[in-house]
Amino acid sequence: MVIKLGGAAVGDEDAALDFVAERAEAADAIVVVHGGGPLVDEWSKRLGIETRFEDGLRVTDERTRDVALAVLAGLANKRVVAALSRRRVDAVGISGVDAGLLIVDRAAPSLGFVGRVRAVRPKVIDALLEARLVPVVAPAAVASSGGELLNVNADEAAGAIAAGIGARLLLFVTDVNGVQDRNGRRIARLDAETIRRLRAERVVSGGMLPKLEAALVAAAEGCVAAIVGARDRSGLRALAEGRQAGTMVSAG
Ligand SMILES: Nc1ncnc2c1ncn2[C@@H]1O[C@H](COP(=O)(O)OP(=O)(O)OP(=O)(O)O)[C@@H](O)[C@H]1O
Ligand SMILES: [Mg+2]
């Protein structure tokens, strides 16, 4: 399974980290992908760099790219690895750069140094899982043409990795207990058509957009994809056991 730990849930992620440790202990093959939006924002601010988003994606000039890479592949990645090590998980921090894991092109020119994931090359993940290690992937990549380092949205990376390795389950752990309708009530199930409508009606926006797109990419490959709250211990367990929780996304 692939579990994406949202930066928005930092400070609230004990349940999710315990869950990863449980699954690793049970010898499940598990891959962690993490974000780190708030931490990138914090360091950008410290360095006097302005932050702007388009449809949930960070507009990234060269300086922002450098900060995002330093923070995500450095501090954020090592914090997750350390938190898992404290739970006796043999976690190994990598990024989409390592062994060419994420194959990306530049996304829209208006986004700057942002990569769009075209494919994954799972060699490094296969090798780590084979050795019973838990890969912890920071979202960054090298452009396939040009070779420059690019910032990648962590949700998109997680969806592509789940699809690319044929994961059975993809969990987006975040600061909300699922996708909410216009009245703030959790939606149990979503399909592509409903997602399009909610997006047009602006009921889903910002950081939820790349999550749902990535969930659809993985669901199209037969993966069960869900958005679940970082504190929702029982929801995480239910999803691992094939039951429903959070918001589940199906391709149809
Ligand atoms: N309909 C919706 N239901 C729930 N959340 C929504 C909805 N529309 C927009 N959101 C926003 O999506 C946010 C989650 O995405 P966000 O990108 O902030 O977190 P993350 O992906 O977990 O963290 P990071 O981007 O750092 O990895 C929620 O906190 C909420 O503000
Ligand atoms: Mg996000």
pLDDT reported for residue 11: 82
**What domain range is 171 assigned to?**
2-250
User: Is 66 assigned a catalytic role?
Assistant: no
Cα gap 164→158, rounded to integer Å: 10
Distance 4 CA to ligand 2 centre (A): 10
> Using CA atoms in the order 69, 133, 4, 8, what is the torsion angle rounded to 10 degrees?
-60
Ligand nearest, relative to CA of residue 183:
1
Confidence check: pLDDT of 162 > 90: yes
pLDDT at residue 4, as a whole number: 98
Q: Which of 211, 232, 235, 246 is catalytic?
A: 211
Give the CA angle between residues 57, 60, 116 to the nearest 5°. 55
Which numbered ligand comes closest to the C-alpha of 206? 1
The predicted model gives 130-144 an average pLDDT of 97
Q: What is the pLDDT of residues 207-242, one digit of tens each?
A: 999 999 999 999 999 999 999 999 999 999 999 999
Instruction: Please give the average per-residue pLDDT across 122-136, as a whole number.
Output: 98
36 is annotated as an active-site residue: no
Q: Which positions ≥6 away from 24 have C-beta within 8 Å?
A: 30, 84, 89, 90, 134
Higher pLDDT, 149 or 8: 149
Q: Is 194 in the pocket of ligand 1 (CB under 6 A)?
A: no
In ligand 1, the atom with minimum distance to the C-alpha of 56 is 17
Q: Is 179 in the pocket of ligand 1 (CB under 6 A)?
A: yes
Q: DSSP string covering 165-209, please?
A: HT-SEEEEEESSSS-B-TTSPBPSEEEHHHHHHHHHTTSS-TTHH
Q: Is 45 a catalytic residue?
A: no
> What is the distance, to the nearest Å, from the Cα of residue 37 to the centroid of all Cα atoms in its chain?
11
Q: What is the pLDDT of residue 228?
A: 97
CATH number at residue 217: 3.40.1160.10
Report DSSP letters for the chain, one per residue. Answer: -EEEE-GGGTTS-HHHHHHHHHHHHTT---EEEE--HHHHHHHHHHTT----EETTEE-B-HHHHHHHHHIIIIIIHHHHHHHHHTTT--EEEEETTGGG-EEEEE--GGGBSBEEEEEE-THHHHHHHHTT-EEEEESEEEETTT--EEE--HHHHHHHHHHHHT-SEEEEEESSSS-B-TTSPBPSEEEHHHHHHHHHTTSS-TTHHHHHHHHHHHHTTT-EEEEEETT-HHHHHHHHTT---SEEEE--
Reported as a single tens digit per residue, the pLDDT across 33-77 is 999 999 999 999 999 999 899 988 899 999 999 999 999 999 999
Tell how far the Cα of 6 is from the centroid of ligand 2, in angstroms.
6
pLDDT at residue 173, rounded to an integer: 97
Q: Mean of the pLDDT values across residues 159-168?
A: 97
Whether pLDDT at 10 is above 90: no
- The ligand that comes nearest to the alpha carbon of residue 180 is 1
Q: Which of 75, 208, 213, 231 to mutate to test the pocket of ligand 1 (most atoms within 8 A of CB)?
A: 208
Query: Global pTM?
Result: 0.97
Cβ of 206 below 6 Å from ligand 1: yes
Mean pLDDT of 13-30: 95
- Closest atom of ligand 1 relative to the 173 alpha carbon: 22
Q: How many domains does the chain have?
A: 1
pLDDT band (50, 70, 90) for residue 199: very high
Residue with tokens 């699922």: 178
Among 6, 35, 36, 37, the one annotated catalytic: 37
pLDDT in tens, 79-94: 999 999 999 999 999 9
